[in-house]
Each structure stands twice: as structure tokens, then as C-alpha cells.
Homo-oligomer: A and B are copies of this chain.
Amino acid sequence: MKSLEDAFGHTLQDIYYAENALTKALPKAADAAKNKDLKAAFRDHLEETRGQIDLLEKVFKSLGMKASGEKCDAIEGLIKETEGLIEEAKGPEALDPALIGAAQAIEHYEIARYGTLREWAKELGHGEAHDLLSTILDQEKAANAKLTALAVSKVNA
């Protein structure tokens, strides 16, 4: 990595790996959740994540790059934390709020990465990539807001 263009490509491969890893982690979270609205939220987000992988493939294509992932230590750690909670939390009073908290940490990770990637795309003059990344960023922000609403209205209490 020598240029901002290199950093952009590298981070794109990181988040592509992360989204693919999440398609394996989200079904486990949906199975573990006790609250039915929370289960549904994880299943909906799994569908959305598959759509985001398609959008990322369009970003790679717009840059003339082959879509590929690079192992992302951050998402590995975040998913490991979530799996640990599923092991440790007994009963819905602890598990469901803890699962939402862990899922929001993952959403925030993605919000940070897409925010950075979008700004770099703008800086580098990659208009199509900028617009696609903005679409995903908005989806992640909405997913996070939905989890907050679910926590406050149905799960914590």
C-alpha cells in the first residue's frame, strides 16, 4: 500500500470479506434471539447484506478490479465477541439486549468503514463507487437505528 488508491482497494477488500463473514454470522444471531421481532430484524438484515455484497461487486467492477476479500481482523473479533455472548448469556433478559448491543457494534464498524470508503472514493474521483458506497452507508445507518428502536421499545424493558 503506497497510495490512497491502494488504501481504498485494500479497505474495499476488507469490507467485502466482512460482509461475507456476516452472511454466516447473522443466521446464528437470528437463531439465538428470543424476541420474534429481533429474530426478524436479523433475518431481514441477512437479505440486505446479500444485496450489499452485490453492490460491492458493482463497486469493484466500476474500478476495473476483481471482487475479492482480504481477511479482516476487526470483523473476526466483532463476530467472535457476538458468538461469545450467545454462549454466555442465559435467558432472554440478558441475551437479547446483549445481542442487539453486539449487532450495533458491528453496524458502527460498518458505518465507519463505509464513511471512510465513500470519502476516499470522492477524493479519488470514483463517482460511481461513491454513489454505491453511499447507498450501503445509508442502509447501515438505517439498520442501526432500527436496532436502537427495537432495544428501547421491545427488548430492554
Contact = CB atoms under 8 A, between A and B. Distances in A.
Interface of A: 1-4, 6-7, 10-11, 14, 72-78, 80-81, 84-85, 88-91, 93-95, 97-98, 100-101, 104-105, 107-109, 111-113, 115-116, 119-120, 123, 148, 151-152, 156-157
B2 A90 contact: yes
Contact of A74 (B72, B77, B112): B77
A84 B76 CA distance: 14
A157 B119 CA distance: 11
B156 A94 contact: no
Contact of A104 (B7, B112, B120, B156): B112
Contact of A1 (B4, B10, B94): B94
Contacts of A98: 1, 7, 10-11
A6 B109 CA distance: 25
30 contacts: A1-B90, A1-B94, A1-B98, A2-B89, A4-B93, A4-B156, A6-B89, A6-B94, A7-B98, A7-B101, A10-B88, A10-B98, A73-B81, A73-B84, A74-B74, A74-B77, A74-B105, A76-B77, A77-B77, A77-B78, A100-B116, A101-B112, A101-B113, A104-B116, A105-B109, A105-B113, A107-B112, A108-B112, A119-B151, A123-B156
